[in-house]
Amino acid sequence: MKIELEITTNMNALALEVQREIDKEVIQHLSKVLERGVELVRNKITNGKAYDDHTGNLRSSTGFIIYKDGKIVHTSFKESPVGTDRATGVKEGLQIALDVLRESTGWGVVLVSGMEYSSWVEKKGFDVLRGAYINLDSALKQAFAELGSFE
C-alpha cells in the first residue's frame, strides 16, 4: 500500500510568522537592555547632585518607549518612590513621548522627561535628562555586556 502526500506551504505566511518571532525576540532583548541601561543612568543621576522633587512628578515623567513604525512595542515610565503626586508625572512623560512617536517610522527609542520645568531644573545645574543622553551609550554597552546576546 502506497500513500502519497502533497504538502502545500504558504511561504508568505511562513515568512510573516518568522518575522513576527524575530521582532518579538528583538523587542524582549532590547527592552531588557534599555531597562538596564536607563537604570544605570538613573542610578548615576541619583548619586550625583540631587534636586528636590517634592511631588515626584519630575522623576516619574522620565522614561522611554520603544516603537516600530509608529506603534509602541514597550514602555517604561515608573512612579518615583517619593513625592505627593507621582502619577501626574507618569502621565505627562508618556504623553510627551507619544507626541514624538506620532512622527516616527522604523525602529526607535524615545527618551523623555515630560515636565515642562525639567529644562529649568537642568539649567540650575541638576541632572534631569542630559546625563541620560550623555551616558546612555556607555550604559547600553554595559547593559549588553551584562545581559549578553540573544538566548
pLDDT at 92: 92
Helix (H, G, I), strand (E, B), or coil: what is residue 101?
helix
Q: Does residue 25 lie within any of the structural domains?
A: yes
Q: In which element (H, E) is residue 128 found?
A: none
Give tens-digit pLDDT for 13-67: 889 999 989 888 887 887 787 777 777 766 666 655 677 788 888 888 888 888 8
Q: Is residue 5 part of a domain?
A: no
Identify whether the C-beta of residue 92 lies closer than 8 Å to the C-beta of residue 114: yes
Residue 93 pLDDT: 92
| 31 neighbors 66 (Cβ within 8 angstroms) | yes
The pLDDT value given to residue 47: 59
Q: Under a CB-based contact definition with an 8 Å cutoff, are residues 104 and 91 in contact?
A: no
- By the 8 A CB rule, do 55 and 114 touch? no
Q: Which domain holds residue 19?
A: 11-147
Quote the CA–CA distance of 66 and 135 in Å, as a whole number. 18
Q: What is the mean pLDDT of residues 130-145?
A: 74
Rounded to two decimals, what is the model's pTM? Answer: 0.68
Q: Does some domain include residue 82?
A: yes
Q: Is residue 39 part of a domain?
A: yes
Classify residue 3: in a domain, yes or no: no
Taking only the tens place, the pLDDT of each residue in 56-112 is 888 888 888 888 888 888 888 888 888 888 888 899 999 999 988 877 778 788 888
Q: Is residue 143 domain-resident?
A: yes
* Residue 20, C-alpha cell as written in the block: 513576527
> Is 72 a domain residue?
yes
What domain count does the chain have? 1
71, part of any domain:
yes
**Contact (Cβ atoms closer than 8 angstroms) between residue 118 and residue 112:** no
- Flag whether pLDDT at 150 surpasses 60: no
pLDDT at 21: 92
Give the separation between CA 23 and CA 21, rounded to whole angstroms.
5
Q: How confident is the model over 111-125, as pLDDT tens digits?
A: 888 888 888 988 888
- Residue 2: predicted pLDDT: 82
